[in-house]
Amino acid sequence: MVLPRIPLLAYDWSLVMVVGLIHLAGLITLRSAAPSPAIFFNQLLYSAVAVAVAVSLQFLSRRQVQSWGWLLYGLSLLLLVAVLVVGREVNGAKAWLNLGPVNFQPSELAKLSLVLVLSRWLSRREPGSIFGYVAPFLIAAPVLGLVLIEPDLGGTTVLAVIVVALLLVWGMPVRHFLVGLVLVGIAAPFAFNHLEPYQQQRIIVGFNPESDPQGKGYQQIQSMIAIGSGGLMGKGYGQGTQSQLGYVPEKQNDFIFAVLSEEWGFVGAVSLLVLYGLLFFRLARMALECNRLEDRLIIVGVLSMLAFQVMVNIGVTIGMAPVTGLTLPLFSAGGTSLLFVYVSLGLAALVHRDRYRDL
């Protein structure tokens, strides 16, 4: 059902403001960080498309969008299979499909579709049985497996975090969650032994970059130097020596936080973290304000996805997590990532808007 008009007063405009500020700060930083003007102008184009799609969602009803879950899930499975066959390999992972002038990352669609599918499935069942806690992982297993095969450890971890977050909000007892953590801890060494040697090395170096300063630890070491050299107030916009002289790799994507910290210092870095904190706080409040469980689960799914990516991305730049390829939401360059972040936030805004309406 298409709504005849958009009830503007029903929106959480503080969320819109925070999203806009983070995105604007990202564009300003990207203008300085991008190694070529084309990257910045492409991001402007992606930004316009992403905002337009998110706004277009608001002309639909929550019930209509929620019904797309299994369709999008099936589409994401097909695209994940396709990317393994004809995808473009970047940094050792086949995670991208070349669609003419556009590079598309199917795992981003998989994240959103998993949120929709599990939110509907869980909202129609009562917690209590062991099967109820295992079934969501069985539903997620196909996309988890396909993303892991690429291999994309970062994307796989995000998908797993979404499942766990939805289960906890659904009503899974904390003791069951703790038992699961113990089992994961027991299984982790065995899983580690079955990883490719370069993946094992990436994980080891991720937590100790100094163990391979001229190899796999180089990126993080240069990132930490850039962050530390920014001091309290930074070196000034476009004046970061580490970033401008090319010492910080992937500075428009994985390590853009290092560029911000070098140019704007501790004050700029903390300001961005505060904005992200406000974003997550507003999403949490929106979830609490929803009476329907399915609506609440959708917003929590979006919240967990974004919060985990922010935590991991910044953890990578300060040498506290292995390099995963996860972008900084709303901030890093990347068309597919930006598009699905906006679609996810648009979906959260939509279900919150209609929380009192049976539409």
Q: How far is it between the farthest Cα atoms of the chain? A: 61
CA distance 59 to 62: 10
> CB of 331 within 8 A of CB of 25?
yes
Pick the most confident of 21-25, 122-126, 194-198, 202-206: 21-25
pLDDT category of residue 174 using cuts at 50, 70 and 90? confident
**In the predicted structure, residue 194 carries a pLDDT above the cut 80:** no
Residues 6+ apart with CB under 8 A from 58: 6, 346, 349, 350, 353
Whether the upstream peptide bond of residue 7 has omega within 30° of 0, thus cis, is: no
CA distance 281 to 178: 25
pLDDT category of residue 6 using cuts at 50, 70 and 90? low
* pLDDT value of residue 240: 81
Residue 52, judged by CB atoms within 10 A of its CB (0-12, 13-18, 19+), counts as exposed
> CB of 250 within 8 A of CB of 39?
no
Q: Which runs of E-coded beta strand occur in 114-264?
A: none
Classify each residue of 225-244 as buried b or exposed e, where b means 16 or more C-beta atoms within 10 Å of its C-beta. bbbebbeeebbeeeebebbb
Lowest pLDDT segment from 41-50, 112-121, 135-144, 177-186:
177-186
Mean pLDDT, the chain, rounded, equals 86
* pLDDT value of residue 1: 47
Residue 56, judged by CB atoms within 10 A of its CB (0-12, 13-18, 19+), counts as exposed
**In the predicted structure, residue 37 carries a pLDDT above the cut 80:** yes
**In the predicted structure, residue 215 carries a pLDDT above the cut 80:** no
* pLDDT value of residue 209: 79
pTM of the predicted model, to two decimals?
A: 0.90
Q: Is 171 left (phi over 0), alpha (psi -120 to 50) or beta?
A: left
pLDDT in tens, 100-157: 777 888 899 999 999 999 999 998 888 777 777 888 889 999 999 999 888 888 889 9
CA distance 79 to 102: 15
* pLDDT value of residue 358: 60
pLDDT category of residue 16 using cuts at 50, 70 and 90? very high
More confident residue, 212 or 14: 14
3-state secondary structure 215-244: CCCHHHHHHHHHHHHCCCCCCCCCCCHHHH
Residues 6+ apart with CB under 8 A from 57: 65, 343, 346, 347, 350
Average pLDDT over residues 69-80: 93
More confident residue, 162 or 204: 162
* pLDDT value of residue 142: 93
* pLDDT value of residue 91: 66
pLDDT in tens, 297-309: 999 999 999 999 9
Average pLDDT over residues 60-85: 90
CA distance 164 to 147: 17
pLDDT in tens, 313-352: 999 998 888 888 889 999 998 888 999 999 999 999 999 8
The residue extents of the domains of the chain are 13-354
Average pLDDT over residues 57-62: 87
pLDDT in tens, 249-285: 778 888 899 999 999 999 999 999 999 999 999 999 9
Strand, coil or helix: 197 = helix
